[in-house]
Structure 1
Amino acid sequence: MADDIEFWPLKVVVQKVGLSQAEVYRRMSEGRFPRNYDYRDGGTRKFWLASDVRAWQQQILDAQRNPRDPL
C-alpha cells in the first residue's frame, strides 16, 4: 500500500474543490464527480480518495486548456 493514500471526508472535499455538499452529491449521482467509499465501521461515515478528487480536478483543468475535448 502506498504511503501517500489519503482519505478525505466530505468537509475536506468541499474545501478542496469549492463546491457545496449538495453539489458534490448531485454531480456524483450524475457520474460527474468521483464516488465515495465507506469506512466499514458500522456507521455512515464516508470518504473520498484524494487521488480520485485530484484526478477530477486535473480533468477540469485539461478541459479548460483543450475546449474541444468534452468532459
Structure 2
Amino acid sequence: MNAHPQPAEDGANAEHATPSGPPPARLLRLPEVINRVGLRRSAIYQRMSEGRFPKSRSLGPKCTVWVEEEIDAWIRGIADRGG
C-alpha cells in the first residue's frame, strides 16, 4: 500500500491543493468586532436594534458571534457613503 499522496492531474500534490472556492466564513467575537468598527458595545447593540448593523448569531447561552463578511460589507458601505 502506498502511503504517499498521489499527484493531482496538474502535477500538484492533491493533499496540498488549494480550494477553488471562496475561503470559509469566519466568525468574530465582540472584542474583534469592536476593534474593527471602532464602536463601543452599546453602540453596536443600539445599531443592531435599529437595523443599521449586522445581526449577531448565538452559538450558545454565552457565545455571540458575527459573520466576518457581513462586518466587512458594513465597513465597505460606510466607506462608500463617505462617513
**Structure 1 length as normaliser, TM-score?**
0.79
RMSD: 1.8
- Partner Cα distance (1:9, 1:54) in 2: 14
Match of 2:30 in 1: 10
Residues paired across the two proteins, number: 63
Bigger fraction of residues in helix: 1
Gaps of 5+ in 2: 1-20
Segments of 4+ moved more than 2 angstroms: 1-4
Match of 1:54 in 2: 72
> 1:13-54 CA distances to partner (integer Å, 9 max, x unpaired)?
001111000100001101100000011x4x231000000000
- Partner Cα distance (1:27, 1:55) in 2: 15
Gaps of 5+ in 1: 66-71
Match of 2:8 in 1: none
**Structure 2 length as normaliser, TM-score?**
0.69
Which has the greater radius of gyration?
2
